[in-house]
Amino acid sequence: MSIDLETKKTVKSITEKYKYGFTTKISSDKAPKGLNEDIVKLISGKKKEPKWLLDWRLKAFRTWLKMKEPNWSMVKFPKINYQDSYYYSAPKPKKKLKSLNEVDPAILSTYEKLGIPLEEQKRLAGVAVDYVFDSTSVATTFKEQLSKLGIIFCSFSEAVQKNPELVKKYLGTVIPYTDNYFATLNSAVFSDGSFVYIPPGVRCPMELSTYFRINAENTGQFERTLIIADKDSYVSYLEGCTAPMRDENQLHAACVELITLDNAEIKYSTVQNWYPGDEKGKGGVYNFVTKRGACRGNNSKISWTQVETGSAITWKYPSCILQGDNSVGEFYSVAITNNFQQADTGTKMIHLGKNTKSTIISKGISAGRGQNTYRGLVRMGPKAKDGRNFTQCDSLLIGDRCGAHTVPYIEVKNQSAKVEHEATTSKISDDQMFYCRQRGLDQENAVSLIVNGFCKEVLKELPMEFAVEAQKLLGISLEGSVG
């Protein structure tokens, strides 16, 4: 072991409690607990959805009933009682909102506590924010500016009302409702989420951003996001989340679908900081997410960057289907597990088109009793002539009670394709620690510094303002882990 017991104790004593653990008191419009066809109909009805969407939800629900919870990942958790959850809750608007000033002050103060700069600050930073509070969007900014360019950036429900043809054309085409247990559940009961459409030739001038937040007690979160980048367009999308402290586990099963047409690019960045549970492993969010992008067009590109520091259990594999010739898929990931957290995350790069390229950089950090698994698939189809993949997975272990695992699948059916995979496992060396301390850093700062260095290749992929936040998070997430 690299760090002596005494320092461990010292550090433990100053461990900061989960910083973002509080609940906002506002009244929720809740559907009864439990899940059945009536609930699905209720959700759809509340949102005044067209029949085709209700039918789609019902098909998904009926499929879900026949499916079994997957058990192939390295994560362990008690059986989830899906009937003991609320599937719909919306904050009650006092009246129709005209501006952010009319938003429930309790909500605004929540964001303040989270340190999310609002309005003017964001405008200066060039960020349009579509706040998702619990399940329904309550405020959207920058709409006007974006709409001038023909960009659609709104809540999913709004898109269903205003742009049904786009939603119908693309929904479920990347993640079909039959895809997997959690995606199918999401398809049946998804509450709301974001919708983005970038018209041909448009480069979105600002980072689009949504902050998610679980709030009402026992509310399963089923976000659904759909982003379409039409020909020759570009968009960078940020997703960040924190959740308040809870004793009972909360299920979060989101779906994100990305589509790029010819020469288009989507950059999707996530900082995930749901409540991870306490030091004893009690509570915390179950984050079972399906994220997938399809590079439909030639020369298109999808880039996933994620910093996963929260949740009791993370189970997600942001993937790319590289259909178009010369299309590019990227996956940059930092996953931290501390205390009793478990993460099983990675990506799938499915190369179908000619000359497609993918890069995977994964950095896993395990501390405490955390278990961190990289699970990835690189598949070169028979037509993926000259396909290229480079994968690098590095694991860092802090302490001797945690685990770091690497499970890559490499399937090559094309002679000219080239796949390279590398993985290493290491710890923070005594020499590094000593060097930092000799230069005056305390243990905690030294660890934070070294970990940030370890993750540099991924962090540099994040948009500037996000990167700063992420760096801080790495430090906070590892508090009390030293040794």
Partner 1 sequence: MEKLIEDFQIPDKKIETWKFTDLKKVQEKNNFRPSVKSDSTPTNPYKINLDISNNIFFDPKNNFIIFENGYLKKINTKSDDLEIKSLDSNLENKIFNKKNFTRKDSLLDINSAFLNENLIIKVKKNAKLKNPISIFYYNCEEEKYLINNRINIILEENSEAEINEIFFSNNKSIYWNNVHNYVCLKKNSKLQHYKIQLESKNAIHSSSTNIDCENSSIYNNFIFSIGGNMSRIEVISSINSADINFNIKGLYLAKTNQHHDITTLMQHKHPESKSNQHIKGILQKDSSGVFQGKVIVAQDAQKTDAFQFNQNLLLSETAEVNAKPELEIYADDVKCSHGATTGELDEGMLFYLRSRGLNKEEARKLLIEGFINELFDDIENKELKKKLLLTSKKTIY
**Positions that interact with partner 1 (CB under 8 A):** 1-2, 72, 395, 397-427
Which residues is 258 bridged to in the sheet? Answer: 227, 293
Whichever of 123 and 405 has its CB closer to partner 1, that residue is: 405
CB of 369 to partner 1, least distance (A): 10
Residue 46 vs 385, nearer CB to partner 1: 385
Both tokens assigned to 71: 């058990």
Distance CA 304, CA 308 (A): 12
- Nearer residue to partner 1 within complex by CB, 1 or 106: 1
Smallest separation (angstroms) from partner 1 to the CB of 2: 7
Report the residue number, 16 or 72, with the smaller CB distance to partner 1: 72
What is the secondary structure of 78-101 as a DSSP string?
A: PPP-GGGSB--EEEPPSS---SGG
Counted residue by residue, the chain has a size of 483
Query: 54 — phi, psi (to 5°)?
Result: -60, -45
Tokens of 414: 């094309």
Angle between helix 37-46 and helix 51-65 axes, rounded to 10 deg: 150
> Among all chains, which residue has been given the structure tokens 């980048």?
229
CA 297 – CA 265 distance, rounded (Å): 10
CA 98, CA 86: separation in Å to the nearest integer? 29
What is the nearest approach in angstroms of partner 1 to the Cβ of residue 404? 5
Nearest approach in angstroms of CB 177 to partner 1 is 25
Residue carrying the six token digits 């002050």: 105
Q: Which is nearer to partner 1, 109 or 426 (CB)?
A: 426
* Closer residue to partner 1 in complex, CB, 58/412: 412
CB of 483 to partner 1, least distance (A): 10
Query: How near is the Cβ of 429 to partner 1 at its closest, in Å?
Result: 9
Strands 127-133 and 136-140 come out as antiparallel
State the minimum distance, in angstroms, from the CB of residue 427 to partner 1.
Answer: 4
- Residues 331, 349: Cα–Cα separation, whole Å: 9
Q: Are 89 and 28 in contact (CB under 8 A)?
A: yes
Is residue 163 a contact partner of residue 150, using CB atoms and an 8 Å limit? no
At closest approach, how far in Å is the CB of 347 from partner 1? 15
Q: Which residues lie below 8 Å from residue 453, measured CB to CB, with a gap of 6+?
A: none
CB of 398 to partner 1, least distance (A): 7
| Shorter beta-carbon distance to partner 1: residue 113 or 421 | 421
End-to-end alpha carbon distance in the chain: 7
Kindly state the DSSP code that residue 219 receives in the 8-state scheme: B
In terms of phi and psi (left: phi > 0; alpha: psi -120 to 50; beta: otherwise), the region of 364 is beta
Radius of gyration, alpha carbons of the chain = 22
- Residue placing its CB nearer to partner 1 in the complex, 168 or 405: 405
Question: Between residues 211 and 374, which has the closer beta carbon with respect to partner 1?
Answer: 374
